[in-house]
């Protein structure tokens, strides 16, 4: 049945004139899920990884151990060579963890052609520079046409073909629509947006709030607590994001509140799982070791506080996450301190009726 589906998709795409050569840069679970999706859409797929063991595993099994049952097509190309992965490709999908984005972009820079499209699908902020990942890619590969893709989209569900909705952000509408056409199908709906900054800030900062949600779960708190963290968390994200130039509407959408909900609520979320372990008394290093995947919120937490200081913005939830992760504060004390903060209005600019 899958082969028939692929043939139908290829025919459909050829008629639309958008069959493309795509390289997935990064052989982790998210990159593999997107490789499977794009191949089903009829595109030619190459997967690059810096890890020889990962390339060997993918060649031998056509499956990633983190995504059991999600099979890559037999004609998928696997390589560890940057030139082979970049040359002649219509799109490079940057799917490495945020902490490896700069190094990977630097490695690829000599082989990326002027105007070649690079789509970042990772989430994070570089602590040392406070740059978003697209800014890092643009700095390392200035000749590239850089776009981003974000939204509530666990690899485990995308790989299985469960309905998912996501957003592509780009500097030009034409670039956004081109990428939209490559990914769009009956199980993967793609919107477009010009607000790259807002999308990336929402995607990065929600991981820190998801750690807080997991910590609350680890402490044994309930749905009331989770709802409060999600609601007040998006308030903090939007407060900082709009101060930095992101659009408020973006934080109300899929890459803001949508991504925050799924990351705080799902056990697919590595940030929530790590938070649960921290709430149960483990250090963040122990939690990351047990999750066995990169926990992006740990890397973004310090950057978020530096940005808050730079823009003079209060981020009480994110501040307490930092104190628990890096300051030795116990999680239950951090929650009590949040609850006992000075009394506030929920929305400060709503007028009271005249008495």
Packed helices 29-40 and 2-16: angle between N→C axes, nearest 10 degrees? 70
Rounded to an integer, the average pLDDT of 311-333 is 92
Rounded to an integer, the average pLDDT of 219-226 is 92
By mean pLDDT, which of 24-33, 172-181, 274-283 is the weakest?
A: 274-283
How high is the pLDDT of residue 6?
Answer: 42
Question: If you average pLDDT over every residue of the chain, what do you get?
Answer: 91
User: Does the pLDDT at position 3 exceed 50?
Assistant: no
pLDDT band for position 18 (cuts 50, 70, 90): low
Rounded to an integer, the average pLDDT of 267-276 is 90
Joined tokens for residue 260: 């925050």
pTM of model > 0.95: no
Joined tokens for residue 317: 């939830």
pLDDT band for position 294 (cuts 50, 70, 90): confident
DSSP state of 1: -
53-64 pLDDT, tens digit per residue, is: 999 999 999 999
Contacts (Cβ under 8 Å, ≥6 apart) of 295: 207, 211, 270, 271, 274, 284, 287, 288
Cα 164 from Cα 161, distance rounded (Å): 8
Picking from 302, 172, 276, the residue whose alpha carbon sits closest to that of residue 221 is: 276
Name residue, tokens 């993967």: 188
Whole-number percent of the chain with pLDDT over 70: 95
pLDDT band for position 15 (cuts 50, 70, 90): low
User: Does the pLDDT at position 50 exceed 80?
Assistant: yes
Name residue, tokens 């949600």: 213
User: Does the pLDDT at position 215 exceed 90?
Assistant: yes
Residue-range domains of the chain with CATH:
2-194 (3.40.50.720), 198-339 (1.10.1040.10)
* 232 burial level (CB within 10 Å; 0-12, 13-18, 19+): middle
pLDDT band for position 12 (cuts 50, 70, 90): low
Cα 51 from Cα 29, distance rounded (Å): 14
Q: Give the residue numbers marked as catalytic.
A: 206
Classify residue 33 as left (phi > 0), alpha (psi -120 to 50) or beta. Answer: alpha
User: Does the pLDDT at position 355 exceed 80?
Assistant: no
How high is the pLDDT of residue 321?
Answer: 93
Long-range contacts of 6-15 (CB under 8 A, 24+ apart): 6/39, 6/40, 6/42, 6/73, 9/40, 9/41, 9/42, 9/185, 10/42, 11/42, 12/42, 13/41, 13/42, 13/43, 14/42
User: Does the pLDDT at position 143 exceed 90?
Assistant: yes
Contact 219, 279 (CB under 8 A): yes
Rounded to an integer, the average pLDDT of 317-340 is 90
User: Does the pLDDT at position 203 exceed 80?
Assistant: yes
Joined tokens for residue 169: 């952000």
Rounded to an integer, the average pLDDT of 316-344 is 88
Joined tokens for residue 47: 């997967």
């Amino acid at each position: 049945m899958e082969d028939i589906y692929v043939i139908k998709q290829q025919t459909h795409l050829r008629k639309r004139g958008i069959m493309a050569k795509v390289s997935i840069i990064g052989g982790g679970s998210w990159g593999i899920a997107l490789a499977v999706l794009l191949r089903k859409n009829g595109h030619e797929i190459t997967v690059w990884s810096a890890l020889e063991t990962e390339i060997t595993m993918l060649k031998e099994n056509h499956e990633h151990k983190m995504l059991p049952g999600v099979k890559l097509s037999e004609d998928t190309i696997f390589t560890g060579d940057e030139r082979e992965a970049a040359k002649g490709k219509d799109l490079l999908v940057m799917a490495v963890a945020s902490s490896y984005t700069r190094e990977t972009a630097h490695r690829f820079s000599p082989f990326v052609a002027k105007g070649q499209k690079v789509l970042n699908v990772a989430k994070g902020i570089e602590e040392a520079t406070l740059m978003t990942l697209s800014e890092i890619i643009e700095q390392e590969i200035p000749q590239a046409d850089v776009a981003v893709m974000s939204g509530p989209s666990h690899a485990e569900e995308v790989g299985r073909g469960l309905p998912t909705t996501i957003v592509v952000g780009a500097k030009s509408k034409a670039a956004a629509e081109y990428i939209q056409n490559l990914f769009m199908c009956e199980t993967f709906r793609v919107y477009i947006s010009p607000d790259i900054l807002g999308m990336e800030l929402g995607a990065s900062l929600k991981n820190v709030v998801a750690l807080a949600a997991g910590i609350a779960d680890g402490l044994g708190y309930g749905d009331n607590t989770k709802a409060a963290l999600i609601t007040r968390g998006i308030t903090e994200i939007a407060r900082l994001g709009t101060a930095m130039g992101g659009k408020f509407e973006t934080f109300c959408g899929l890459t803001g509140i949508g991504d925050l909900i799924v990351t705080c609520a799902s056990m697919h979320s590595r940030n929530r799982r790590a938070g649960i372990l921290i709430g149960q008394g483990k250090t963040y290093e122990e939690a990351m070791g047990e999750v066995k995947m990169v926990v992006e919120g740990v890397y973004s937490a310090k950057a978020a506080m530096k940005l808050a200081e730079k823009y003079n913005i209060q981020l009480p939830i994110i501040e307490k996450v930092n104190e628990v992760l890096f300051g030795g504060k116990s999680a239950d004390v951090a929650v009590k301190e949040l609850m006992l903060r000075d009394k506030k209005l929920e929305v400060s600019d709503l007028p009271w009726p005249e008495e």
